[in-house]
Amino acid sequence: MAKRTRRQNTSHDPATAYAQNVVSGGIIAGPHVRASCERHLRDLDEAGNRGLVWDKKAAARALGFFPDVLRLSEGQFEGQPFQLHPAQEFIVGAIFGWKRADGTRRFRRAYIEQGKGNGKSPLAGGIGLYGLVADGEPGAQIFAAAAKMDQARILFNDAVAMVRQSPALEQRLTPTGINPVNNLAWMENGSFFRPVGRDTGKTGSGMRPHFVMIDELHEHPNRDTLEMLERGFKFRRNPLVFMITNSGSDRNSVCWEEHEHAVNVAHGEVEDDTTFSYICALDDDDDPLDDPSCWIKANPLLGVTITESYLADVAAQAKAIPGKANGIRRLHFCQWTDAETAWISRELWEACEDPDMKLDEFEGQECWFGLDLGATKDMTARVQIFRDGKTESGDPKFAMFAHGYTPADTLHGRVRDDRAPYDVWVDHGHLTATPGKVVRFDRVAADLVDMAARFEVVAVAYDRWLIRNFEITLDEMGVTLPLIEHPQGTNRRKDSPLWMPDSINEFEKLLLEGRLRIAVNPALRSAVASSTFWMSPAGLRRFEKQRAMARIDLAVAAAMAVGAAVANESDEPSVYEERGLLFV
């Protein structure tokens, strides 16, 4: 007969009590926390078939460590026992209560995503101290790890403060350093707890972690630190990586990968008995800026460590100051955003995408190009615009196709450095990888010549940067293309009819009015989502590549192409007739 894990009496089982209250609706929680609770209850009935055991005593031991040994520091909680909130009891209880048949812990990885101010760092610090002194691991190495040492110290300093408040721990542990403390050592057991930061290069191959506490995973540029520390787990029987984070803004990041995996595990879409997740999120129809009732889904410690009045203030700021909205949604309401101050929302952009639109539909028709040339790390971007009918009111509609070029020899290095799947985009035909370490302009020019044979090219809008190199390439090929300069700044130039502030505004207008069909290109979507601007005192905008979170060359080229196409539709004399085209 299959072995079953018997349901426990929840009077001394806070983790299970919390899960039952969430599933029954007694505690309000978001979709992924509900899924994690359902998973816990389902596993109480079924996990025995997989050799897993719910050890209520082990869970109780870890839960008891917090109020019995640890004291909180700072503010209203100074000196008080660390009484875990029910949500924290679920996290700690589940991690330490679930066991494998051999007695080792089931969960080796935990992903915790909550709103800012919900006590993630003190909880992680407490778990680190438990691993140091109470987990029975000789020579335990505990690390508080973050992208930057300053961030790692936040979590570690919470642990140091708790040690200073606890006579039992202060007697047992020896700190190194005064201001700041750099290490907590349990000399008798050969164990230590210390911070490490990727920016200091202090994550190395000699580490043999027992517990790793990863803080603010959304700020990690790649998974190097996480993988380096996890590789040391091979020396341990009961290792744990405990990841805590706010929601992020980069869907090409290690944090998004871990988020998606943890979501899939919670919902049973991926089977992984080593991963625990507690992911706060809103339901699809929740609006945190207008509906306070959903705040607790992202902030389980609402009313304890964070107040309703504080969240009301930040929600009001998000409504009053649009530039703050995405940061507030991300940090306080667990909503993943595309950029700190997104230019175009993902929903609006995707509503304009047409996965069935093909270039062949426009054979022989007039078109306008935007061309943003790049050298080594920059991408060269080519965006093509066609007329696409008119609205009922007679306004012109347009269709957009985008393509990028990137150096092949540095492709994989930039996949790692930029955290962008250039290799996948190349494989799917959205980018072309040209041979060498720089973009081959002859390949770009050859493609434009092919386009000129298929379509009536009215204009190729270009920026001065590297245009002379491109012109030389065209000369060598004996090719003539209708070129028109499109400056990138906010100062209107008399010698050019095109102007970036106008082009940006027209691009936005087409999107908002639903007058632009866009052929799906994830590289273009990423560029638009990551775009940032410099704004003049008069409110004029230009793209600012240096501050962008990803390569935005395709977004720049798209605005240039829109500017050129829309200018041709003006009631005024054609800019091409007035300015003339520059032919080579």
Q: What is the 3-state secondary structure (H, E, C) of 405-416?
A: EEECCCHHHHHH
What is the rounded distance in angstroms from the CA atom of residue 435 to the CA atom of residue 459? 28
Same domain, 220 and 336: no
Same domain, 352 and 335: no
Identify the CATH number of the domain in which residue 407 sits: 3.30.420.240
Same domain, 170 and 270: yes
pTM: 0.66
pLDDT at 226 over 70: yes
Residue 465: CB atoms within 10 Å: 14
Same domain, 262 and 336: no
In this structure, is residue 545 part of a structural domain? yes
What is the rounded distance in angstroms from the CA atom of residue 340 to the CA atom of residue 529? 10
Element (H, E) at 117: none
516-556 per-position pLDDT tens digit: 999 999 999 999 988 888 877 677 889 888 766 678 999 99
Give me the pLDDT at residue 468, please.
86
What is the rounded distance in angstroms from the CA atom of residue 276 to the CA atom of residue 127? 15
Same domain, 430 and 482: yes
Same domain, 98 and 160: yes
- Burial-class residue 50 by CB neighbours within 10 Å (0-12, 13-18, 19+): middle
Q: What DSSP string runs through 173-233?
A: -EEE-SSS--EEEEGGGTEEEEEEEGGGT---TT---SEEEE--GGG-SSSHHHHHHHHGG
Share of the chain above pLDDT 90, in %: 67
What is the rounded distance in angstroms from the CA atom of residue 517 to the CA atom of residue 140? 58
* Total tally of structural domains belonging to the chain: 3
At 517, which amino acid appears? Answer: R
In this structure, is residue 2 part of a structural domain? no
Tokens 């809103």: give the residue: 282
Same domain, 325 and 412: no
In this structure, is residue 150 part of a structural domain? yes
Q: What DSSP string runs through 488-537?
A: -SSS--TT-S--HHHHHHHHHHHHHTT-EEEE--HHHHHHHHH--EEE-T
What is the rounded distance in angstroms from the CA atom of residue 273 to the CA atom of residue 275? 6
In this structure, is residue 71 part of a structural domain? yes
3-state secondary structure 308-334: HHHHHHHHHHHHHCHHHHHHHHHHHHC
Same domain, 508 and 452: yes
What is the rounded distance in angstroms from the CA atom of residue 81 to the CA atom of residue 64? 11
- In sequence order, what are the beta bridge partners of 385? 368, 400
62-86 per-position pLDDT tens digit: 999 999 999 988 777 888 999 999 9
In this structure, is residue 4 part of a structural domain? no
In this structure, is residue 286 part of a structural domain? no
CB 34 within 8 A of CB 64: no
5-23 per-position pLDDT tens digit: 444 455 589 999 999 999 9
Which residues lie below 8 Å from residue 245, measured CB to CB, with a gap of 6+? 111, 112, 113, 120, 214, 215, 216, 217, 218, 255
In this structure, is residue 118 part of a structural domain? yes
Please give the residue range of the domain that contains residue 362.
Answer: 347-583
CB 36 within 8 A of CB 266: yes
For residue 562, give Cα distances in angstroms to 362, 372, 483, 511.
17, 13, 15, 11
Same domain, 389 and 469: yes
Q: Which of 184, 108, 111 is nearest to 153 (CA)?
A: 184
Question: Which stretches does DSSP call E strand in 114-182?
Answer: 141-146, 174-176
At 340, the pLDDT band (50, 70, 90 cuts) reads low
Give me the pLDDT at residue 544, please.
84
Identify the CATH number of the domain in which residue 252 sits: 3.40.50.300
What is the rounded distance in angstroms from the CA atom of residue 64 to the CA atom of residue 25? 27
Same domain, 317 and 372: no
CB 295 within 8 A of CB 329: no
At 427, the pLDDT band (50, 70, 90 cuts) reads very high
Same domain, 223 and 148: yes
Q: Mean of the per-residue pLDDT values for the chain?
A: 89
For residue 59, give Cα distances in angstroms to 91, 94, 95, 99, 500.
10, 7, 8, 10, 61
Give me the pLDDT at residue 32, please.
97
Q: Which of 234, 249, 279 is the last residue of a domain?
A: 279
Same domain, 329 and 370: no
